[in-house]
Amino acid sequence: MGFDIERFVGTVNEGLLCCVCRDVLEDPLQAPCEHAYCSTCIHGWLVHDRICPEDRQPLNITQLRPLFRYMKNDLDRLQIRCINAQHGCTVVCELENISKHERECGFVTVCCPNMGCSTIVERRNLDVHLNVCDFRCKECPRGCGMQILNHDDAEHNCIAELRTEVELLRAEMICKLEDQRREMESRLDSQRRHMVQREGLLQAEVDDLKGQVTRIMQEMRSLMEMERQRRQDLERAELEKRELIELIKGIPREGSEGIKSVTCSRCKRSERITII
């Protein structure tokens, strides 16, 4: 939709009017036949008819182009009144700047930003309203530090409010502690299970080692027994040797040397010895 021609100061060239809405072009586009239209107007038109609305020549969306530069310049320089003129805004500016002004125009109506307030005021009066708005918040003048609605001032009780706040904090804290306790317990549980498992494994290892030690001790004992036997045999042999030597010494020498057979008195074993 174009701009209402009544908002313009001075005359507007016929070529700057939209062929669809007959208002002054807004976001203009041009057809090959050089007729111009507002962007929204011609797009809406071409949904139903594929012809130029002015001369009925065939037309489709892909043929639309930006307005000739000289026409666009003429359009941009047209002087237009602010949309809020009927509310008192006296601003008149070039068409290319009007949207920027209207975004910031003090005569535009806005909602009070305070939650719960439904007051609508002109932007230029918003500050005045905010100072008296019943829904504005302020810090408690008695120093409890809470934000209170202006009209709640009389009912505000610092001690009661703070008590509620403390109760809330306490409940929150208890919740948090309970959560932490539960987490710790579950962690301890899993550690305990782990320890029990480990203990079982270690016990099995200890039993195994004990068995090994017992076997080694038995082997040691039998080795020691064998060693004792061997020593006894050795001692006996030594004794026999000494007896034999004694025996040999007791044999009278006959000046001859030779080999004689000697029989042990104990074991009855015969040994051949050389007598020198």
Among 5, 92, 140, 262, binds Zn ion (CB under 5 A): 140
Question: Does residue 150 belong to the site contacting Zn ion (CB under 5 A)?
Answer: no
Distances (CA, A) of 32 to 65, 189, 202, 234, 257: 8, 82, 94, 134, 156
Q: Indicate whether 38 belongs to the interface with Zn ion (CB under 5 A).
A: yes
By CB under 5 A, tell whether 35 contacts Zn ion.
Answer: yes
Indicate the residue among 29 and 89 with the shorter CB distance to Zn ion: 89
The secondary structure element, H or E, covering residue 200 is helix 158-250
Q: Rule CB under 5 A: is residue 18 a binding residue for Zn ion?
A: yes
Q: Which is nearer to Zn ion, 134 or 233 (CB)?
A: 134
Q: Say if CB 146 and CB 161 are below 8 A apart.
A: yes
From 46, 52, 75, 80, residue interacting with Zn ion (rule: CB under 5 A): 52
**C-alpha pair distances (Å), 172 with each of 158, 163, 169, 221:** 21, 14, 5, 72
Number of Cβ atoms within 10 Å of the Cβ of 273? 13
Whole-angstrom Cα distance, residue 68 to residue 143?
Answer: 67
The Cα–Cα gap between 42 and 40 comes to: 6
Q: Which stretch binds Zn ion (CB under 5 A): 37-45, 240-248, 257-265, 266-274?
A: 37-45
**Cβ proximity of 18 and 41 under 8 Å:** yes
Q: Which of 15, 114, 123, 240 binds Zn ion (CB under 5 A)?
A: 114
Q: Give the footprint of Zn ion on residues 201-220 (CB under 5 A).
A: none
Distance of closest approach, residue 178 Cβ to Zn ion, in angstroms: 31
Q: Give the interface size with Zn ion as a residue count (CB under 5 A).
A: 25
Site string for Zn ion, 78-97 (x = CB under 5 A): ----x-x----x-x------
Select the span of 39-47, 168-176, 181-189, 251-259 touching Zn ion (CB under 5 A): 39-47
Nearest approach, Cβ of residue 121 and Zn ion (Å): 8
Stretch that binds Zn ion, among 21-29, 217-225, 231-239, 258-266 (CB under 5 A): 21-29
Cα distance between residue 82 and residue 87, in whole Å: 10
Residue 152 binding Zn ion, by CB under 5 A: no
Contacts of 108 (CB under 8 A, 6+ apart): 84, 102, 122, 123
Give yes or no for a contact between 269 and 240, defined as CB atoms under 8 angstroms apart.
no
Long-range contacts, 140-147 (Cβ 8 Å, 24+) = none
Q: In what helix (H) or strand (E) does residue 208 lie, and over which residues does it extend? A: helix 158-250
Stretch that binds Zn ion, among 125-133, 176-184, 245-253, 257-265 (CB under 5 A): 125-133
Residues that bind Zn ion (CB under 5 A): 2, 18, 20-21, 33, 35, 38, 41, 52, 54-55, 82, 84, 89, 91, 105, 112, 114, 117, 119, 133, 140, 142, 144, 158
